[in-house]
């Protein structure tokens, strides 16, 4: 009897080990631009920083071409355009950032109506950010006399701080950093104008993409990771302190005080691809050239 029980115990142990060995043990690799969109995954990244790469925004396109990262955070329109052109196998998994743009000035008693007949300086000529901003202003009946462009939000932030009469488009966290340097700075969310025009809370700005090979080879891992990503995004509202500390530890943002004030204005919210489709198409139709000439095809959207 003892011999039989011993054999049974050994069999159970062998079976358990085999089952454990057969279980998937796959660590996903993620690439994201350093800045506001990376906040979506900050509390995940701080737990396993070796699995996350934070790059400059102008190099995120190379991540698609390399086809190495399992997940990429990038501007929605960039991923959609590459997919349509056959230059990327990455499909849309979820929207994670819904617009961190602000129109700002240090003019006394600055109001959006002050833009009428004035010059406004945007960042990113021929980008979806510029297109959405101009659309939102037009729908609000605001017409600048002249639109000028600088390269990025850091450039318009510098102009905002150096020119007391300038009216600029900036973004979080640059706006918060500017306010902390000069409390005369006033900012208005482009999202407020966008909601007035469309009825939606924010535009489809930055997204989480998943590699086709990862979907095919590790479908359960993808599902599990997306659940964790949703939880991480939710913390940008429910646990700002944790996100701020993670963002500073990862050097996504410079200081905790800046992060604490900036995160709420970054519009981080996880919405699955299928659920976000209607809002995506509204954003795309503002400037279809940013999406390759048409709204994304159905096979661009990942759904469980």
Report yes or no on whether pTM surpasses 0.75.
Answer: yes
Report the chain's mean pLDDT, rounded to a whole number: 92
Residue 6, pLDDT above cutoff 80 = no
Q: What are the counts of helices (DSSP H) followed by strands (DSSP E) for the chain?
A: 13, 11
What is the mean pLDDT of the segment spanning 66-72?
97
* Mean pLDDT, residues 125-149: 97
Q: Residues 251-266: pLDDT tens digits?
A: 999 899 999 999 999 9
Q: Residue 57: pLDDT band by 50, 70, 90 thresholds?
A: confident
Distances (CA, A) of 159 to 105, 146, 155, 283: 10, 16, 6, 28
Distance CA(169)–CA(105), nearest Å, equals 9
Q: What whole-number distance in Å separates Cα of residue 225 and Cα of residue 218?
A: 11
Distance CA 279, CA 285 (A): 10
Separation of alpha carbons 204 and 96, rounded Å? 9
Coil/strand/helix, residue 64: helix
Which of 144, 85, 147, 99 lies closest to 286, judged by CA? 99
In order of 41, 49, 166, 275, 285, the CA distances from 101 in angstroms are 20, 28, 16, 23, 19
Q: Which domains does the chain have, with CATH numbers?
A: 30-98+204-295 (3.40.190.10), 101-198 (3.40.190.10)
120: helix, coil or strand? strand
CA–CA distances in Å: residue 11 to residues 1, 15, 88, 243: 15, 6, 47, 47
pLDDT at 38 over 70: yes
Cβ-contact 36, 173 below 8 angstroms: yes
**pLDDT computed for residue 16 by the predictor:** 43
pLDDT in tens, 183-230: 999 999 999 999 999 999 999 999 999 999 999 999 999 999 999 999
Q: What is the mean pLDDT of residues 239-243?
A: 97
């Amino acid at each position: 009897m003892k011999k039989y029980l011993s054999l049974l115990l050994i069999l159970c142990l062998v079976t358990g080990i085999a089952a454990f060995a057969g279980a998937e043990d796959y660590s996903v690799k993620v690439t994201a631009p350093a800045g506001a969109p990376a906040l979506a995954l900050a509390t995940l990244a701080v737990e396993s920083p070796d699995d996350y790469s934070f790059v400059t925004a102008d190099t995120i396109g190379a991540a698609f071409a390399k086809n190495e990262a399992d997940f990429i955070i990038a501007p929605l329109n960039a991923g959609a355009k590459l997919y349509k052109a056959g230059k990327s196998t990455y499909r849309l998994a979820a929207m994670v950032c819904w617009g961190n743009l602000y129109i700002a000035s240090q003019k006394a008693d600055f109001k959006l109506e002050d833009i009428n007949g004035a010059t406004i300086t945007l960042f990113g000529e021929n980008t979806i950010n510029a297109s959405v901003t101009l659309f939102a202003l037009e729908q609000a009946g605001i017409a600048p006399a002249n639109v000028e462009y600088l390269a990025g939000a850091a450039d318009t932030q510098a102009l905002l701080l150096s020119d007391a009469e300038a009216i600029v488009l900036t973004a979080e966290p640059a706006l918060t950093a500017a306010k902390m340097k000069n409390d005369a700075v006033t900012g208005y969310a482009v999202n407020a104008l966008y909601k007035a025009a469309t009825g939606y809370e924010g535009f489809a700005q930055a997204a989480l993409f998943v590699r086709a090979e990862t979907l095919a080879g590790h479908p359960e891992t993808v599902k599990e990771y997306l659940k964790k990503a949703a939880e991480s995004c939710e913390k940008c509202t429910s646990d700002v302190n944790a996100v701020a500390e993670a963002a500073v530890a990862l050097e996504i943002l410079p200081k905790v005080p800046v992060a604490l004030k900036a995160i709420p204005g970054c519009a981080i919210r996880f919405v699955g691809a299928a659920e976000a489709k209607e809002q995506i198409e509204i954003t795309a139709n503002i400037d279809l050239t940013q999406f390759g000439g048409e709204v994304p095809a159905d096979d661009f959207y990942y759904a469980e």
